[in-house]
Chains A and B, each alone.
Chain A
Amino acid sequence: MRYVIVGLHAAGRSACAWLRRLRPDASIVGVDPEAMPPYARPLISYVLSGELEPGQLNVEGPDFWDRLGVRVVSERATALDPDKKILTLASGRQEPYDCLLVATGSSPRPAGVQGSAAKEIHYFRTRGHVERILAACRPGGSAAVLGGGLVGFKLTMGLLARGMRVHLLVTSPQPLALNVDERVGAWAAEQLAALPNLALQTCVTAQSMEPEPSGGYRLTLDTGESLTVDLVAAGKGVIPASGWLDGSGLACADGLAVDQRLLTAAPEVYAAGDTAICRDVALGAPRINAIWPLAVEQGRFAAWNMAGQDCPYPGGLAMNSIPLFGRHVVSVGAVNPRLTRGCVSEVAEDRQGRYLKLVFDGSSGRIVGALGLDAAPRLGELTWAVRRGLTRDDIPTHWRRAPLSAAPLAARTEWLAKAAGL
């Protein structure tokens, strides 16, 4: 059996490790121009802020792939022929496969800025990106960050830590609009507004970027204002890196649709991670949740299925854990106002400002999301609860009243019976 794994980051690495465990003798070929040495991309924000050294990005030694028995081809895949079962690489080289995994993840969403300098916008996804931003940073300089989502936030905090003055330009009415509710978003905006060296502007979009004769760039906004800055960086979300599959009959611009076994429409071609459109258990609909734990988990399920087992993937859901201004914001499932219309929420709050909100479906009472600000770190249980389809009545009153001291929800054996379908 010849397995080919395209993309060797979170999902691809996990799939390789499980395939090797399940099929000790199989031939496994990994294809990724960025495979060596293995690193973890979320750590680039810690390198930008100076909390980690660039060398600490690496999570495995350079002999990792050899030890795992994976032959790595450091190239980009450019085409797939599912009928002939052949993968074509940038050099023209061809890799035949019996079973293939697409784990090519995602790429930064283009910032949508016009102008002759727009190509100099820094994106923030790879080791190379953070190296380039660090080279362009200088204390006392100024930067514009486009996007108030998680990556925009991390860029902002990192650039501030490097001594830059930052203009954070957010299209939505509040930062982190997709990840938190109005209340926590407003708190984050308040905290940002109080930061020295930071100017937060909401409901604004950068339209064009031109070089300034004296150095730096002029950024024109849709409000008619303009800003002169030394560096422009964007964190406007991600798009699935599935464009290379155009022509294979598989790809769709929004990612790769998969069935319960993570199999795409082509035989023996599976997908996992940021490129795979899986069922979202909170929303009950297909959706990409581009986060690390799901990429690793899907890599494992894909490997199990690729190794011939029949392991239906239970589905993913959004999960975020954001250390913010000395506090901790956590969210699972549906919490943002757009996705929670018609839902009923219940809030527990104490005098220290700890806040835990549970969101239930308005008609079925099923828990669909939760959001915490410095709440007891119990969101893992709520993730479990969303996945198991627990309802409001399943969550005991004492758990809701005193989430710091309650035993785990999973301690209740009747739910184990429910989960097992007894």
Chain B
Amino acid sequence: MVVKSVIIRPELCVGCMQCMIRCAEAHSESGVLALAVSEAVLAKPRIHIGVGPELRPFPNKCRHCEPAPCQEACMPGAIRSDIAEGLKIVDMARCIGCGMCGMVCPYFAIRYYPAAQVAGHGAVAIKCDGCHERVARGQVPACVEACVTGALAFEDVNRHMNAGVNRLANAALGVTA
């Protein structure tokens, strides 16, 4: 199970969409924004700012579910969990663009676009890959690096969960400290 993951705090999001831009940049051929904008097949973001409850911005991306509905739906086995621990990553070369994964993802985390990595294929499934290559190099995911408000953070999931449980318990017991 993955320990560190991108944790979203929608209440801190101001909807600036920097995460979307930096995500697309990180997944472009050149990896550099100034060049990425003129690449033949434009890279697409894997995180999106949607209109959330009370019309507030809501950053939305793949949760890397376990078990993952998208992986179960993928007939050619293109959604893999053996590329990076705890992450569900689309192997674009195997993707046939059938759309079954989008049919079952409860979070609208998958979109379909042509990708430079598989030029000549039709649209393929595009979703968050946890920036596993950046993380392997010791960097944080691109969206987290871009987020200045702290709405996105690369944190230990278990610690985050524990903190949440403590907050809930404190609220239930009326503890304010």
- A and B together in one complex: yes
Q: Which of B55, B60, B104, B122 contacts A408 (CB 8 A)?
A: B60
Task: Tell me which of A42, A319, A396, A408 contacts B103 (CB under 8 A).
Answer: A319
Which A residues form the contact surface with B (CB < 8 A)? 14, 40, 42-43, 46, 51-52, 56, 59-60, 292-293, 296-297, 300, 319-321, 323, 328, 330, 332, 376-381, 383-384, 396, 398, 402, 405-408, 410-413
Interface contact A332-B103, CB-CB below 8 Å: yes
Q: Which of B58, B67, B100 sits near A300, CB closer than 8 Å?
A: B67
B110 touches A407 (CB 8 A): no
Q: Smallest CB-CB separation from A40: which chain B residue?
A: B75
Q: Is the CB of A59 within 8 A of B76?
A: yes
**Interface bits B45-74 vs A (CB < 8 Å: 1, else 0):** 000001111010010100000010100110
Counting CB contacts under 8 A, is B86 at the interface?
no
CB-defined contacts of B105 to chain A, threshold 8 Å: 380-381
Kindly identify, within residues 61 to 111 of chain B, every residue whose CB is under 8 Å from any CB belonging to chain A: 67, 69, 72-73, 75-77, 96-111
| Contact (A321, B102) CB under 8 Å given A405-B51, A407-B50, A407-B51 | yes
B108: chain A residues at CB < 8 Å are: 376-378, 380-381, 408
Give chain B's interface residue range (CB within 8 Å of chain A): 20 to 34
Report B-chain residues with C-beta under 8 Å of the C-beta of A378: 102, 108
- Is B69 a contact partner of A380 (Cβ separation < 8 A)? yes
Query: How distant is B49 from chain A, measured CB to nearest CB, in Å?
Result: 8
**A292/B75 in contact, CB under 8 A:** yes
Chain B residues contacting A52 (CB-CB under 8 Å) are: 96
- Assess whether A377 is in contact with B77, with CB atoms less than 8 Å apart: no
**CB < 8 Å: which of A321, A383, A411, A413 contacts B99?**
A321
- Give the nearest-CB partner of B78 in chain A: A59
CA distance A188 to B36 in the complex (A): 38
Contact check, A407 vs B52: say whether CB atoms are below 8 A apart: yes
Are the C-beta atoms of B58 and A407 separated by less than 8 Å? yes
Binding site for A on B (CB under 8 A): 10, 50-53, 55, 58, 60, 67, 69, 72-73, 75-77, 96-112, 122
In addition to A43-B76, A380-B107, 4 A-B residue pairs with Cβ atoms within 8 Å of each other are: A56-B76, A292-B73, A377-B99, A410-B107
**A–B Cβ pairs within 8 angstroms, 28 of them:** A40-B75, A42-B98, A52-B96, A59-B76, A292-B75, A292-B100, A297-B72, A300-B67, A319-B104, A321-B98, A321-B102, A321-B103, A332-B103, A379-B103, A380-B101, A380-B104, A381-B105, A384-B106, A402-B51, A406-B50, A406-B51, A407-B50, A407-B53, A407-B58, A408-B107, A408-B108, A411-B50, A411-B60
Output the least CB separation between B105 and chain A (Å). Answer: 4
Closest residue of A by beta carbon distance from B55: A398
Number of residue pairs spanning A and B whose beta carbons lie under 8 angstroms apart: 113
Q: Provide the residues of chain B in CB contact with A384, threshold 8 Å.
A: 106
Contact B72–A381 (Cβ < 8 Å): no
A293–B51 CB distance below 8 A: no
Question: Given A52-B96, A377-B110, A411-B52: A383 and B104 within 8 A (CB)?
Answer: yes
Interchain nearest-CB distance for A294 vs B (Å): 9
* Contact yes or no, B107 A381, CB < 8 A: yes
- Of A56, A332, A377, A411, the contact of B58 (CB 8 Å cutoff): A411
Contacting pair A43 B106 (CB below 8 A): no
Cβ–Cβ < 8 Å partners of A297 in chain B: 69, 72
Question: Complex formed: what's the CA distance from A292 to B100 in Å?
Answer: 9
B77 touches A40 (CB 8 A): yes
Instruction: Report B-chain residues with C-beta under 8 Å of the C-beta of A413.
Output: 53
Enumerate the 10 nearest inter-chain pairs by beta-carbon distance, A residue then B residue, closest first. Answer: A407-B50, A407-B58, A377-B102, A321-B99, A407-B52, A293-B73, A384-B106, A380-B105, A296-B72, A59-B77
The winner among A51, A377, A378 for most chain B CB atoms within 10 A is A377
Within the complex, the shortest CB–CB distance from B126 to chain A, in Å, comes to 11
CA distance A312 to B101 in the complex (A): 23
Docked-complex contact A296 and B73, CB < 8 angstroms: yes
Q: Contact check, B75 vs A381: say whether CB atoms are below 8 A apart.
A: no
> Do B75 and A43 have beta carbons less than 8 Å apart?
yes
Task: Given A411-B58, A411-B60, check contact A380 B75 (CB 8 Å).
Answer: no
Complex: chain A residue closest to B107, CB-CB: A408
A22 to chain B minimum Cβ distance, whole angstroms, is 12
| Residue in A40, A328, A330 whose beta carbon sits within 8 Å of that of B76 in the complex | A40
A293 in contact with B104 (CB, 8 Å): yes
Which A residues lie within 8 Å of B72 (CB)?
A: 14, 293, 296-297, 300
Closest to B96 in A: A46
Give the CA-CA distance A321 to B97 in the complex, in Å.
10
Whether B103 and A330, one on each chain, are in contact in the complex, defined by CB atoms closer than 8 angstroms, is yes
**Chain A residues with CB under 8 A of B103:** 293, 319-321, 330, 332, 377, 379-380, 383
Give the Cβ gap from B95 to chain A, nearest Cβ, in Å: 12
Taken together as a complex, chains A and B put the C-alpha atoms of A51 and B109 apart, in Å, by 26
Closest CB of chain A to B168's CB: distance in Å?
12
Q: Which residue of the partner chain A has the closest CB to B71?
A: A296
Task: From the candidates B73, B75, B112, B122, name the one contacting A377 in the complex (CB within 8 A).
Answer: B112
Please name all residues of chain B whose beta carbon is closer than 8 Å to the beta carbon of A332 when the two chains form the complex: 103
| A381–B50 CB distance below 8 A | no
Instruction: Name B52's closest neighbour in chain A (CB-CB).
Output: A407
Least CB separation from A378: chain B residue: B108
CB-CB nearest in chain A for B67: A300
Q: Which residues of chain A are within 8 angstroms of B77 by Cβ–Cβ distance?
A: 40, 59-60
Give chain B nearest CB distance to A293 CB in angstroms: 4
CB pair B99–A328 under 8 Å, yes or no, is: yes
CB distance from A289 to the nearest CB of B (A): 12
Distance between A222 CB and nearest chain B CB, rounded to angstroms: 34
CB contacts (< 8 Å) of A396 on chain B: these are: 53
